[in-house]
Amino acid sequence: MRIRGKLSNRTALVVLLLAVTATTLAGRRLASRLRVAAQYVVPVLGDTGMYVATSFKSHVREITARGVTPAEAKRLHEERDEWRRRALAYEQQIARYIEHQKARRQLYGRVFDVPVELIPARVVAADALPYGSTRLVTGGTSRGAAPRQRVTTRRLHTDRGKALPEGLAALSGTVLVGRLMETGAFTARLQLVTDRGFQMRARVVRVIDPETPRRITTGGRVRALSRENNRPLEVLAVGDGAGGVLVEGVRVEENVLPGDWLVTRDDDALLPAQVAIGKVTRVEELPGGPHTVRLHVAPQASLDALREVYVVVPLGSRKAGD
């Protein structure tokens, strides 16, 4: 009953207990270093396991999706046809716009682009305990990853029956899924947007629906929400630890409704683009609160089945020699 050598099991137990007491008291910084060291052994077996788990979750999500009644199906068909008509009109507008831009580019020779590099990475493990929402991803500091960098889905929606237009990024179904919290040489720990410790400055974008106009109060005057006065609302998004995102302190007068979008800020140095985070599902009035509401946001990405992601590395942030 002894580990070979001079060290008795009793001594080993005492050493272990003293060591873990010390690491408990030492705090997050040491914990982060220890976890990074441990990350080297998990991906060896984890990749296959995570492939099976995410495939299973995707499949379950598909087969458990709620069925629709014939009446709902008819309504959805009609809505789809309407959206197709609108999409066609928009496509024509976009085509004209692209032609216009081409002409301008030829004149001035400058092209606007988001100054980031997208590093493909793959989820190879999750938290061993279900209390948090983090994932272990491939792609560490050796590929330019660093703590706090944003992570998005790796998905592109396109109609393969048509030729792909220029400026394809505009059609990308990219969604923010979280940010890196710890990085090792070859792996990194991704903190999902739903994790309790996740916090990020973001914006709420209200959707204008001509069929159901809404009223907002600005400068003491009640007005109909329009393209002109629909400014994005600056908010702080926080993970609720239970699969959602919370936004506190939104003024009642802003009249945010379910269906509105939570998006990233395009002035964020780490991801200077407006990327979707999720959709508002519930607006909760706070009794006795300072005339504000709490927004419950459902992440747009399917985080349970998350497998392939992009780590967003701002250009110029890589060290020389990387």
Partner 1 sequence: MRWIPFAIFAYVLVVLQATLGRILTIHLGGVGHVGPDLLAVLGLMLVLYLRSGTDAALAAGLLGLALDLTTAGGPGGATVVGPMALGYAAAAWVVFQVREAFFRERLTTRFLLTLLFCLIAHGLWVTLQSVRFLGDGSWAAYGASLLQAVVNSVYTALLAPLVMVGLDRVRRWMIVAPVDRRGRSR
Report, in Å, the least distance between residue 149 CB and partner 1: 16
CA distances from 62 to 175, 176, 214, 289, 301 (A): 20, 22, 34, 40, 14
Length of the chain: 322
Contact region with partner 1 (CB under 8 A), list: 73-81, 87-95, 118-126, 211-219: 118-126
- Tokens 């994932």 label which residue? 135
Query: Which tokens sit at 50?
Result: 């995570």
- In the complex, minimum distance from the CB of residue 96 to partner 1, in angstroms, rounded to a whole number: 46
Nearer to partner 1, 12 or 168 (CB): 12
User: Nearest Cα to 121, choosing from 136, 103, 104, 107?
Assistant: 136
Q: Which residues 181-240 are close enough to bind partner 1 by CB under 8 A?
A: 181-182, 189, 191, 195-198
Within residues 275-314, the interface with partner 1 by CB under 8 A covers 304
Q: How far is CA 98 from CA 86, 91, 109, 112, 157, in A?
A: 18, 10, 15, 13, 19
Q: What string marks each residue from 63 to 92 as x (binds partner 1 by CB under 8 A) or -? A: ------------------------------
Among 94, 118, 127, 173, binds partner 1 (CB under 8 A): 127
**Single residue of 109, 130, 210, 288 touching partner 1 by CB under 8 A:** 130
243 is a site residue for partner 1 (CB under 8 A): yes
Judged by beta carbon, residue 196 or residue 279, the one nearer partner 1 is 196
Restricting to residues 44-63, name those near partner 1 by CB under 8 A.
44-46, 48-50, 52-54, 56-57
Work out how close the CB of 109 gets to partner 1 at its nearest, in angstroms, rounded to a whole number: 46
The amino acid occupying position 178 is G
* 242 part of the interface to partner 1, by CB under 8 A: yes
Site for partner 1 in 131-150 (CB under 8 A): 131-134, 136
Residue 249 makes contact with partner 1 by CB under 8 A: no
Supply 315's token pair: 């250009």
Q: How far is the CB of 154 from partner 1 (least distance, A)?
A: 19
Residues in contact with partner 1, total (CB under 8 A)? Answer: 60
Quick one: which segment of 30-38, 213-221, 259-267, 271-279 binds partner 1 (CB under 8 A)?
A: 30-38
Chain residues that interact with partner 1, rule: CB under 8 A = 1, 3, 9-10, 12-13, 16-17, 19-24, 26-28, 30-32, 34-35, 38, 41-42, 44-46, 48-50, 52-54, 56-57, 124-134, 136, 181-182, 189, 191, 195-198, 241-243, 304
